[in-house]
Amino acid sequence: MSSVYDYRLNKWEEYFLNNGEKKYRARQLYQWLYQKQVTSFQEMSDLSQGLIAKLAADFSFDDLRLIDKTVSSDETIKYLFELADQALIETVLMKYDYGNTVCVTTQVGCNMGCTFCASGLLKKQRDLTAGEMVAQVLYIDKLLKEEDSRVSNVVVMGIGEPFDNYDNVLDFMKIINHDLGLAIGARHITVSTSGIVPRIYDFADEATQFNLAVSLHAANDELRSKLMPINQRFNLAALKEALVYYSNKTNRRITLEYILLDGVNIADRDVKALKKFVSGLNCYVNLIPYNPVLEVDYHSVDYRQALEFYNKLKQVNIHCTLRAKQGDDISAACGQLRAQQEKGQVNVLRSK
């Protein structure tokens, strides 16, 4: 049975037409799901009982069960959810002065194998549906509405490689972006990839206003291949060629994510390599202090080291930002909370 959140508006229009209903029913349904945020078909008072029965037979409402919730001293909140098949995923809420950002998971586990990342400790079991991604944003949006607030930004950077689940991820982004959906602006939605080059070309050709971020973390092939096995398949030359195509096709600025690893990727040679890689790209480098993962032997830099590397990049005219570390006191690195639950190290909440 499909999730009621899986369908984009045009697919709902096809569904209703194929079942002898008027096309406008799709817009009615979207309003109930995303504007009024009802959680049963029976609440949809302008639909006939026959249509309600048909919908209930064909679709279910995604039921995320809250397993654990941790709150950081900086107000970052990490949620551990159980899906209908008992699979575990994580969703993170980050509160900023400019709004509330939700970080969404796209897969149960991850096969990219990045050596610094907790997500890859548990291999990919399956892709999430578009509806399971929508349900993560809806869950948090409902909580925020109780505070007279809402989700204003979404980053598709949780567990999994979004471009390894491309079609579902694109459907998800278009659902939450739609005016009758959650109406989150396209420029407030960012999808991240570790560098699946063919999908970067596909994404460029979509002609959307969504933001693209690329997990770079090193700008020489030897080191990046050590950190990120995807580089052995799509090296830096192939990645840059795809990013140049994306920039030229969309005229959109790319974010290059760069985790700061003590003694690994913050030397002068790394500054030089970064300078060469960004040349000719419409991009900026987002420097991210590392949230340590117990199972891997990488360490974060201190603030002095981070600022020193930032200043070196600025001196060679690399556009960059230094992100404040968030949630390191609540296992905020992707996949940590899920991994701890799998090992029986977190408590299970019995209520939703």
Residue 313 one-letter amino acid:
L
CATH of domain 65-342: 3.20.20.70
pLDDT, tens digit (0-9, with 9 covering 90-100), for 276-295:
999 999 999 999 999 888 77
Judged by average pLDDT, the poorest of 109-123, 160-174, 211-225, 263-277 is 109-123
Cβ atoms of 326 and 332 within 8 Å: the answer is: yes
In which band, very low, low, confident or very high, does the pLDDT at 26 lie, cut at 50, 70 and 90? very high
Q: Which of 143, 23, 88, 141 is nearest to 335 (CA)?
A: 88
Res. 339: pLDDT tops 80:
no
Q: How many CA atoms lie within 13 A of 141 on its CB side?
A: 22
86 sits in the region (left: phi over 0; alpha: psi -120 to 50; else beta) called left
Which residues are identified as catalytic? 90, 334
pLDDT, tens digit (0-9, with 9 covering 90-100), for 30-70:
999 999 999 999 999 999 999 999 999 999 997 799 999 99
Q: Is 29 exposed, middle or buried, given 0-12, 13-18 or 19+ CB atoms closer than 10 A?
A: buried
pLDDT, tens digit (0-9, with 9 covering 90-100), for 77-112:
999 999 999 999 999 999 999 999 999 999 999 999
In which band, very low, low, confident or very high, does the pLDDT at 325 lie, cut at 50, 70 and 90? low
What's the chain's average pLDDT? Answer: 92
Query: Which of 3.60.10.10, 1.10.15.40, 1.10.150.530, 3.40.50.300 would CATH assign to domain 2-60?
Result: 1.10.150.530
In whole angstroms, give the CA distance from residue 156 to residue 190: 6
Residue length, the chain?
A: 352
Identify the pLDDT of residue 327. Answer: 54
Domain residues of the chain, as ranges? 2-60, 65-342
* Angle in degrees, CA 51, 22, 44, rounded to 5: 40
Interior/surface letters 63-82, b for 16+ CB within 10 angstroms, e for the rest: ebbebbebebeeebbbbbbb
Cβ atoms of 145 and 139 within 8 Å: the answer is: no
Q: Give residue 246's Cα distance to chain centre.
A: 20
Percent of the chain with pLDDT over 70: 92
The whole-model pTM stands at: 0.91
Cβ atoms of 102 and 92 within 8 Å: the answer is: yes
Res. 191: pLDDT tops 60:
yes
User: Would 2-60 and 65-342 be classified into the same CATH topology?
Assistant: no
